[in-house]
Structure 1
Amino acid sequence: MMSSRLMRPAFAAARSTATRTAIRTYAAPAADTKPPVALFGLDGTYANALYTAAAKQNVLDPTSKAISSLTQILKSDPKLQTIIAAPTLSDSDKSQIVAELEKHTGGADKSGTVKNFLSALAENNRLGLLEGVCEKFGTLISASKGEVELTVTSAAKLDDKLLKRLETAIGKSEYSQGRKLKTVTRVNPDILGGLVVEIGERTIDLSVSGKISRLNKLLEDAV
C-alpha cells in the first residue's frame, strides 16, 4: 500500500495555483506516469496528482474503478455533495466522510491510493472538489486508452436510438479524429430543448437556450 507520506506531497501541493511547482516536482517522473492530456483548474491539478500516484503504483485500473464508483454515488445523491462541501466540517467529520466514501469504492482501492487522495482533500478542506476531480480523472483515463469523451446534454433523457445515431455521426466526423468515443449523457432542463454536444475541447450548442441567447445578442447589436 502506498504510504500517506508518499501521497501527501502531491496532493498537498494542489492547494493553490501558486504551489503548482511542487506538484510538478512530484509528478515529473518517467513519461509513462505523466498525465496524457493537460488539465486546468484546481480540480485538474488534483486529478493529475491522483493519476501520477496511481501510475507510479501500477494501479490505474483499480483506481479508475474506485473513482467511477464514487462518481456514481455523488451523482445519485445530490445531498452528499452539499454535505462534503460544507465549510464548517470538523476534523472528526472529515474522517467519518473519508471512511464512508472509501466504503463506496467497490473494494477496488486495495492499494489505498484513493483513500490517501480523499484524506488529502479533507486535510486541505477541498472535499467540495471531489466530483470535479473524479470527472477530470475519468478524462485522463479515457485519454490514456485513446478514447475521446463525448458529452451530450439534453433537456430530457435522450432516446437510445437517437443517441446511437448521434454517436455514429460524430464517430465518422472529424471531431472524433478516429478515436473511440466514450459517451456521457447529462440532463439539464435549463437548455429548454435541443442538445449541447461536447467532444474534446469542442462544444456544439444546438440548444434552444443557446439559440435564444444568440438571437438576443443579434437584437442588442442591431439597436
Structure 2
Amino acid sequence: MENGTAPLASDGSTISLGGGLAGRYAAALYAHADEAHALDQVVEQMDTLGRMIDESPFLSRLLESPLIDVSTAQKAIRSVLTEHGFNKIVQDFVGVVVSNRRMRALRTIVGTFSALVAEKRGVVVVHVESAYPLSGVQEQQLRARLIEAGYGNVNIVKRVDPALLGGLVVKIGARLYDTSLKSRLQRLQYAMKGAA
C-alpha cells in the first residue's frame, strides 16, 4: 500500500482497511494468527482459500446462496477446509464468519486480509489487466519497470480481460495507468466527435 491508498479486491472493487466489516474481520484474524505464531501459515492458507472460492463453482454457490441454512453451510465448509488440510485457526475463523451469517462477504474478507498482510509487510499490490495472458518475459519487464518507478517489493495480481483488445491497465493503489487499445480507441472516438 502506498500513502494509505485503498487496495482492490479480486473483482476490482476498493477494499477499505480502516474499517468496515471486512476490515474488522481481517484485522481480528491477523492479530489472532500473529499471537498464535502461525501468521505465515494462515497467510498462505487464506490465499489458497481465495483461489478456491474463485475457481470452485460449488464453493462460490455455497457462499452466495441465501437458501442454505447456517448449520448446513458450517458442515459443508468445514468438510471442504478439512479435506484440503486447512489449520484450526482458518477453520475456526471461517466458522465464525459463517455463523455470523457473513458467508457472502467471505471472499471480500479474504481479499482484505491479503491486502492487510501486504500493507504490514511493505508489499505493494499491483493489479494488471491484459487482453492476453502475460508471458514470463513480459511479467519480468513489468516488474523491472515498477522497480524503476520506485516500487521495490511488489505483488503482481494478473487478470485477463479480452475486451481490452491490447495493452495493459495497471492499478497501483488509487493510481490507474490505462494503455489499453480499448481506451485509446475511445479517446480517438471522443476526439473525432469534438472535431466534427
Report the TM range for the smaller structure's normalisation: 0.7 to 0.9
Q: CA deviation at 1:91?
A: 2.5
Q: Counterpart in 1 of 2:179?
A: 206
Give runs of aligned pairs for residues 179-218 of structure 1, distance below 5 A.
179-214=152-187
Aligned equivalent of 1:90 = 69
> In the TM superposition, what is the alpha-carbon distance from 1:152 to its structure 2 partner?
1.1
| Counterparts in 2 of 1:83 and 1:180: CA distance versus 1, 3 Å | same
Amino acid at match of 1:124: N
1:157 to partner: Cα distance? 0.9
Residue deviations 1:27-85 (CA, integer Å, cap 9, x gap): xxxxxxxxxx9445432332222212222323211111211221221222244213211
Q: Deviations over 1:147-202 (max 9, x none)?
A: 2112211122112111110110111104x1xx311122111233333211122332
What secondary structure is seen at the aligned counterpart in 2 of 1:170? helix
Aligned match of 1:58 = 37
- Structure 2 unaligned regions, length at least 5: 1-15
Secondary structure of the structure 1 residue equivalent to 2:159: strand
- Name the amino acid aligned to 2:126: L
Which of 16, 19, 26 in structure 2 is aligned with 1:47? 26
Residue type at the aligned position of 1:65: E
How far off is 1:207 after superposition?
Answer: 2.3
| Aligned positions of 1:97-108 closer than 5 A | 97-103=76-82, 106-107=85-86
Q: Is contact 1:69–1:104 with CA below 8 Å preserved after alignment?
A: no
Counterpart mapping for 1:1-223 below 5 A: 38-39=17-18, 41-103=20-82, 106-107=85-86, 109=87, 112-174=88-150, 176=151, 179-214=152-187
- What is the identity percentage for the equivalent residue pairs of Structure 1 and Structure 2? 27
**Structure 1 residues 210 and 93: alpha-carbon distance in aligned structure 2, compared to 1, 3 A threshold:** farther
Structure 1 unaligned regions, length at least 5: 1-36
- Quote the offset at 1:105 in angstroms: 5.2
The answer on whether the counterparts of 2:27 and 2:113 sit within 8 Å (CA) in structure 1 is: yes
Aligned-pair CA distance for 1:213: 4.9
Distance 2:105 2:20 in 1: 10
Q: Is the 8 A contact 1:43 1:129 kept in 2?
A: yes
| TM-score normalised per structure 1 | 0.69
Q: Which amino acid aligns with 2:101?
A: N
Q: TM-score, normalised by structure 2?
A: 0.77
Count of residues in correspondence between the two structures: 181
The whole-number CA distance in structure 1 between the counterparts of 2:20 and 2:193 is 33
Select the structure with the greater relative contact order (CA < 8 A; seq sep ≥ 6).
2
The corresponding residue for 1:8 is: none
Higher mean C-alpha displacement, 210-219 vs 49-58 = 210-219
